Chain A
Amino acid sequence: MRQWLIGLLGWCAVSALAAPHQHEPPVVLAPGYEDLQFEPPSAGSYQLPSMGEAADGLILDTSGNAGRLHDYLGDKATVLSFIFTTCNDVNGCPLATYVMSGVQKAVLKDPDLVDQVRIVSFSFDPEKDIPSVLGRYGDQFRAEGFDWEFLTTASEDALRPTLDAYDQWVIRDYDEEGNYLGTMSHILRVYLIDSDRRIRNIYSTSYLHADTVVNDLRTLLMQ
């Protein structure tokens, strides 16, 4: 994991490493970076009741082609996370990408899952995460041939309805003079979406773990 984190730091370096807080407590890594600390309920032994429809929205793929989010939902079980590549909180977007890498690894090993699962990483920073930047970011993590899509949007106006629909609250950080610090605050949310485009689970920092997500994917596909 250590090497992986160092890799992420390369991405952090390009962010405007503003340090609005000088006396932060030491960061405790989220559970998703460790081995799962409990025996999860067996796949298929529990329910994942629908939390409603997964919304559509405008997107750009990493080649710059315009499309819709629903083009990437509905045929497979999908794990959707909202990220931005310059995110410098180790327990935020890097955690999401780290866990998605773990999901990818597990799914690749499981012939029952490998063609049934997609991961979508959706940027909420259209200004910095232009298609080419996001494409290079994705290349760091996507295994050869795995269905892991990296999506962005053309503008804040194109992005906002999607964030609103997914209840993804994002605040840009400013200093006391009103200057944008280049960072954003958000509640990390990762969405499990079934092949009928229904949201079946939402994970946040304390809940997000590759083993749990894979367990849920298996549960979805058993129903």
Chain B
Amino acid sequence: MSRIFIAALGFLMMAVAPMTLADETCMSPYMAKIVGQEDYVYIWTLGMEGVGDGEDKLVTVDVNPDSKTYGEVVHSLSVGGRNEAHHSGLTDDRRYLWASGLDTSKIFIFDIYTDPAQPRLHREIDDFVAKTGGIVGPHTNYALPGRMLITGLSNNRDHGGRTGMAEYTNDGDFITSVWMPTDDNLQGAVKSGNYADGYGYDARALPRRNVLVTSSFTGWNNYMMNLGKMMGDPEAMKRFGNTVVIWDLHARTPKKVLDVPGAPLELRCAWGSRSNYCFTTTALTSKIWLIYEDDAGEWQAKAVADIGDASKIPLPVDISISADDNHLWVNTWNDGLVRLFDISDPHAPEQVFEKRIGEQINMVSQSWDGERVYFTSSLLANWDKTESGGEDDVQYFKLYNWDGATLTPQFSLDFVEMGLGSPHQMRFGAHALYGKAPAKTGHDDMAAR
């Protein structure tokens, strides 16, 4: 245990969770953190027809270098069928991993604490659309105290981009839902620019400012369409989100709609206890945007950096902010690059590094100390590069070590060759979160339970 400094242990758990710690580094900041070596990465993986059983699955990879099975898939749990597996998130007590499907709108709740090496399916939510009053495409699974906030991407009326958010108890019981503000119904919000499109994607909370921030992507009609077909359809290309919304977190009411044109996707907020800003990147216009509270207490949005050459559509996807708020990893799906930006001045990010990781790079997750950076490849089943006879449709999970200057490859797993599918979101697990040491040390101290 001495090597595994887990924020959840001892009195450190509650002391540091809320304010001083970064994610490993992209989750809700209000949960226990793995601040040392993670034992596992849980990878929510899309099923691919003809690859293995073809089903969506939660894949567990051992990433602890002290383990005999380091770098190996140690568990795979198929959920039956394909759901367009996409994002996942942990509950505030980190005992359950929620993983959602954008096509079927199903949510799978995995128990990862009973045996962190072998997650088990705890509950399946299959009535999300009915319970929420028509929200389709559950995306971000974000922990709030004792509950999960689920953002949607679409709706069951026209399968376009207008959508909402839902809340569930940690047990998986529906609590409530709210729709995003639109021109038709701003719900009291101020429309600060040209758009109030009602689209959704990601969400992050800053409780000390009573702020919830949401971003916007596109609806089911687009994200389930073949990418080439969609790109050739001018009408379809108009149906992307152009907004970030600032909410009253406590009341769950929208306060201000900000123009952020070009599909702002992932949101990452600074961790500093006095840092009132978040970053997002726009998929279609290839820019980093700063969402920030100005000196007058007003929330604003402004483009602060270009990501590559926008005319070549690099297509920024996942981003990851460092624990000290000084760096932001940015993946661009179309050119296979990861870029690192110095964001120590959040109003003027500067690119300081880039490296090619591989075709259709998508998600990035870094360890607490920033020394390990993990990547996966898949974007959406119908957007991945299947047109060129499969040569570009590589599907991988890769680990690199980062020393501040160089990314050094540690291992790479070919998810097609292994019969698994297309890997998407990664979340970290550790035995010590649950008062348990790995079985290999024979230390299981959960006697009190």
A interface with B by C-beta (< 8 Å):
18, 20-21, 24-28, 30-31, 37-38, 40-41, 45-47, 49-52, 87-92, 95, 156, 167, 169-176, 178, 180-181, 183, 185-189, 202-207, 212
- Identify which of A25, A49, A188, A204 gathers the most chain B CB atoms within 10 Å of its CB: A204
From B223-231, B246-254, B325-333, give the one contacting chain A: B246-254
CB-CB under 8 A for A91 and B15, given A178-B445, A206-B208: yes
> Could you say which of A27, A41, A49, A212 contacts B176, with CB atoms under 8 Å apart?
A49
A110 to chain B, nearest CB (A): 20
A31-B208, A171-B435, A178-B443 as given contacts; A186 in contact with B250, CB under 8 Å = no
Q: In the complex, what distance in Å separates the CA atom of A95 from the CA atom of B21? A: 19
Bitwise interface map of B from 293 to 308 toward A, beta carbon under 8 Å scored 1, else 0:
0000000000000000
What is the interface of chain B mostly: helix, strand, loop, or mixed? Answer: loop
Question: Would you give the shortest CB distance from A36 to chain B, in whole angstroms?
Answer: 9
Bound state CA distance, A189 and B147, in angstroms? 11
Residues of B within 8 A of A207 (CB): 30, 145, 207
The reply to whether A172 and B435 form a contact with Cβ atoms under 8 Å apart is yes
What is the CA–CA distance of A91 and B17 in the complex, to the nearest angstrom? 9
Q: CB-nearest residue of chain B relative to A215?
A: B250
A171 with B208: CB separation less than 8 A: no
Chain A residues within 8 Å of B134, by CB: none
Interface CB pairs A-B, < 8 A, 12: A21-B5, A31-B208, A47-B176, A49-B175, A89-B15, A92-B11, A92-B13, A167-B146, A172-B447, A181-B10, A202-B147, A203-B145
Q: Which of B41-49, B166-174, B281-289, B397-405 contacts A (4 or more CB under 8 A)?
A: B166-174
Taking a contact as CB atoms under 8 Å apart, the answer to whether B169 and A188 are in contact is no
Other A-B contacts than A30-B19, A185-B9, 12 sampled, CB-CB below 8 A, are A27-B20, A41-B248, A49-B167, A51-B173, A95-B14, A171-B435, A171-B448, A172-B447, A173-B10, A205-B30, A206-B208, A207-B145
8 Å CB contact of B13 from A38, A49, A185: A185
Tell yes or no: B53 within 8 A of A by CB: no
Q: Does any Cβ of A come within 8 Å of B410's Cβ?
A: no
Within 8 A of A (CB), among B1-23: 1-2, 5, 8-21
A123 to B273 CA separation, bound complex (whole angstroms): 30
Q: Mark B419-438, 1 if CB is under 8 A from A, else 0.
A: 00000000000000011000
Assess whether A25 is in contact with B20, with CB atoms less than 8 Å apart. Answer: yes
Tell me which of B171, B207, B435 has the highest count of chain A C-beta atoms within 10 A of its own C-beta.
Answer: B207
Cα distance A8–B75 when bound, in Å? 46
Closest Cβ neighbor of A27 among chain B residues: B15
Indicate whether A206 sits within 8 Å of B15 (C-beta atoms), given known contacts A46-B253, A52-B169, A169-B95: no
Instruction: Give which listed residue, A21, A49, A169, A205, contacts B93 with CB less than 8 A.
Output: A169
Residues of B within 8 A of A28 (CB): 16, 18-20, 273
Does any Cβ of A come within 8 Å of B99's Cβ?
Answer: no
